[in-house]
Chain A
Amino acid sequence: MSEVIVITSGKGGVGKTTTVANIGTGLAMMGKKVVVVDTDIGLRNLDVVLGLENRIVYNLVDVVSGSCRLRQALIKDKRHPELYLLPSAQTKDKSAVSPEQMIKLTDELREEFDFILLDCPAGIEQGFRNAIAGADKALVVTTPEVSAIRDADRIIGLLEANDLRDIHLIINRLRPDMILRGDMMSVDDVIEILAVNLIGTLPDDEQIVIATNQGEPFSSKNSRAEEEYRNICKRLLGEDVPFMDIRQKKGVFGRLGGLFRK
């Protein structure tokens, strides 16, 4: 039984693409057959985050327009045998694809893969409508900032209006030190405001920047964010994983303890 999941946010720059890359890699490492699809036509990004930018021949627009077969456009990640990328086109724009074509594409992908992860473009225009058209489930990424939260609320409203009601929230770039001194909204604050199911809480973690620089998600050893990405994958697979306490790692001893915790 395969599942099509769209990762969206409304606001740009909150970590959609990084989330898709990490959850995709994480699920593939757990033995699931995964394809990550970059639906941001004209602004290709997922390929560089995954380190697969030099292997693109065909893209999503080529597939939906019938210029190539689906198999020809799929890029197999050699480091993770179960992970594939369907890259976006760099030279076309959003109008090159219609929601109907996206539904047809996702249905085709369902036959091959356990998980189809769609990286949605920022905004609420056609790119967004294309990305959500074939999805069963939505992961909404936000940060604890007023601008991102307002856009997330708008996106949740639009998803519901489009009958996509299986919605889960990922709160990204949490800063425990700022939350503790009352200068950043906490996980509870954000959930109370948005009133939606939580599936992941990610600390602001420089390891993610390093992994992205290298084009290799899940490459660091002691990353709390990667640990939580793994937890999100388990939750997507139906496991009941408790949420990590964002207030941990307070003080030197807590910090050391955090390094050795599994």
Chain B
Amino acid sequence: MKAFQIVKKRSAGYARERMKLLLVSERIDCSPQMMKMLRNDLIHTVKKYVLIDEEQVHIKITQEPSVIYVKIPVQKKRKQLDHD
């Protein structure tokens, strides 16, 4: 676990993650800040209708063809009952 953390702290890993995020947003002309806003808006909208796991929402954008994939895990009904 510790070794993993050391690897993650190395600068190449940071560079790779930063570039992936930046280039995806630049390719569709949508800044990282706007991507964050898109994510929040999506969560907000879906939440009005179903119970979702907000932490696990993933947005992926592919280039050829350009498609936005959004993965929003829905929480089980049992949990909903727990809330009630």
- The chain A residues found within 8 Å of chain B, CB to CB, are 145-146, 149-150, 153-154, 157, 178-179, 181-186, 189, 192-195
Contacts and interface: CB of A to CB of B under 8 A. Distances in A.
Given A146-B18, A195-B63, A153 B23 contact: yes
Given A154-B26, A157-B27, A149 B19 contact: yes
7 closest Cβ contacts across the A-B interface? A182-B10, A153-B23, A189-B16, A193-B19, A185-B12, A183-B11, A182-B12
Nearest to A188: B16
A247 to B, nearest CB: 14
Interface of B: 7, 10-13, 15-16, 18-20, 22-23, 26-27, 63
Contact of B19 (A146, A179, A184): A146
Given A146-B15, A146-B18, A189-B16, A183 B10 contact: yes
A219 B62 CA distance: 44
A84 B19 CA distance: 39
B16 A184 contact: no
Contacts of B7: 182
Nearest to B13: A182
A237 to B, nearest CB: 28
Q: Is the interface of A mostly helix, strand, loop or mixed?
A: helix
Contacts of A146: 15, 18-19
A195 to B, nearest CB: 6
Contact of B12 (A150, A153, A186): A186
B12 A179 contact: yes
Contacts of B11: 182-183
Given A146-B18, A182-B7, A193 B23 contact: yes
Nearest to A185: B12
A186 B19 CA distance: 13
Contacts of A145: 15
Given A146-B18, A193-B19, A181 B26 contact: no
Nearest to A145: B15
Contacts of B10: 181-183
Contact of A183 (B12, B18, B26): B12
